[in-house]
A and B are shown apart, each in its own frame.
Chain A
Amino acid sequence: MADMTVNQSAARSKPAVKVNTRAIVMGLYLLFLLLPIYWLLNMSLKTNAEILGDFSLWPRDLTFQNYATILTDPSWYMGYVNSLIYVVMNTFISIVVALPAAYAFSRYSFMGDKHLFFWLLTNRMAPPAVFALPFFQLYSSVGLFDTHIAVALAHCLFNVPLAVWILEGFMRGVPKEIDETAYIDGYSFGRFFIKIFMPLIASGVGVAAFFCFMFSWVELLLSRTLTSVEAKPIAATMTRTVSASGMDWGVLAAAGVLTIVPGALVIYFVRNYIAKGFALGRV
């Protein structure tokens, strides 16, 4: 906190000191964030004997056996496939229904618009625990239990409102004159929306899709409640490393590392919008 007491003029004369305190703070914080992740990665590259044996900060006996186990056993890798299927379905549904709604909210005022917008927010805020049991009964009774579409629809509960809010935030930045000019030029609504409007808010669609993907990917309670075998997500599959012969720590760690990969791959593209996404499009 040294730089808090140093006043502006002093800081100007000694820029090196200031940069260093900042770097130290950030370094420590990032270390705190990355250490547990490193530990998981470290464990995934060890054999179980080494994990439970001597304590070591890095794998002495580097092995990719744990990853091989997951990537060759269908009961393991199908967990990833199942998760990806319902996540992609959910993202697609959410964006498709949210686009026209967000456009309506950003451009028009109509009866009950504010109440509707608020009601959507309450669904984003609703605790999944409240919905676990009724969802289970609802989807069982319509014969959708243990299907990908059930989980995809269930996740719409919080992802559709999120997508509407984020997209509305982006669309509001597009001047209304563009719409009006296009209509005067004889564009129909559909053609205008796809040809002119969509390219203008492309980054918004990307960000909304990213957030839908992410929140569906990280959620466990609903996806676990709504599936048993056929559509079982990877998150639920991970619990099977607990067996009579003890925990298979290496495989558990490898499965964990593999769940981090999709998020880590796309995070670079949305890095400047991530705050906006978390703030529901309102920064």
Chain B
Amino acid sequence: MEKTVNQKAWFLVLPVLILVAFSAVIPLMTVVNYAFQDTFGNNQFFWAGLDWFDELLHSDRMWDALGRQIVFSAIILAIEIPLGIFVALNMPKKGFWASFCLVLMSLPLLIPWNVVGTIWQIFGRVDIGLLGYTLDKLGISYNYTQDFYAAWITVIVMDVWHWTSLVALLAYAGLQSIPDAYYQAAKIDQASRWKVFRYIELPKMMGVLMIAILLRFMDSFMIYTEPFVVTGGGPGNATTFLSIDLVKMALGQFDLGPAAAFSLMYFLVILLISWVFYTVMTNLDKRES
């Protein structure tokens, strides 16, 4: 749509600007403030320059948490994206069953995140949980509070359970937009099921899939509540992801300087990914119009 140039439109945006500035810019400035200063209490601050950043870049703790975070996000994407597409391809196209599937699939997305954690905490327990009990009876040793692999698998399966539907819903929305004529043409050409997927469905889904990939990456990159409830970051530090580590540092130990420096670097990464996201979104808009 052709837009009119109108500088007075700023007045319409003003409330949002003020509100978001209050809840984003002011707190962020506090973070910036702490990131460059040191304190010995009593509200006395000293200029610390880049010391905190220097310390952080040489701390194993941060790099370990970042490493775990990247591995986690990579595994999540590798499982959820293909699985989500596969589910979307198998969803009923219309009618009662389509609504039925949509409603049930959305259910995990609407559960408070700590309840998601609680559900899996219970579900995986050997004494009272269905999953833990079954695995135990099958003779598989499984204890997510003690065992490194069990903890990781639990957290990953939980995230797959929680968010695959999002990928499936987006992919489904992409599939719905493909006109029937495309399939008829493929039928005339006697294209195989794989070729229909590769040359018709996948290209048509690409835009929404990019959104799904970016959203899943961002959200898994800042995951906090669910693993915190299930494993508390343990055993040891096995599932301490970036956000868990940051909250531990900021609110647990009250290490303001390092936590603030950590936050800023975290935020810069997010900013970079948001920019990619934005570019994809605007390109998608252009292609539509």
Contact = CB atoms under 8 A, between A and B. Distances in A.
B187 interface: yes
A16 interface: no
Given A156-B23, A218-B111, A267-B107, A39 B122 contact: yes
B20 A123 contact: yes
A263 B107 contact: yes
A35 B119 CA distance: 10
Contacts, number: 302
Interface in B90-117: 90-92, 99, 101-115
A5 B15 CA distance: 55
B10 interface: yes
Interface stretch (A59-67, A114-122, A200-208): A114-122
Interface residues of A, number: 105
Given A37-B107, A105-B13, A157 B20 contact: yes
B148 interface: no
B103 to A, nearest CB: 5
B130 interface: yes
B7 interface: yes
Contacts of B135: none
Interface in B165-194: 165-166, 169-170, 172-174, 186-187, 190-194
Contact of A7 (B31, B133, B190): B190
B108 A33 contact: yes
B66 interface: no
B174 A138 contact: no
A104 interface: yes
A26 interface: yes
B267 interface: yes
Given A108-B9, A221-B224, A39 B91 contact: no
Interface residues of B, number: 105
Interface string A37-51: 101100100000001
A268 B128 CA distance: 32
Contacts of A280: 211, 281
Contacts of B284: 282
Contacts of B30: 134, 137-138
Interface string A108-131: 111101001110111101111111
Interface string A9-42: 1010000000001100110011011111101100
B22 interface: yes
19 contacts: A5-B193, A22-B90, A22-B92, A93-B19, A127-B222, A129-B250, A133-B251, A218-B112, A235-B114, A260-B107, A260-B115, A268-B103, A274-B102, A274-B169, A275-B173, A278-B166, A279-B211, A279-B215, A283-B173
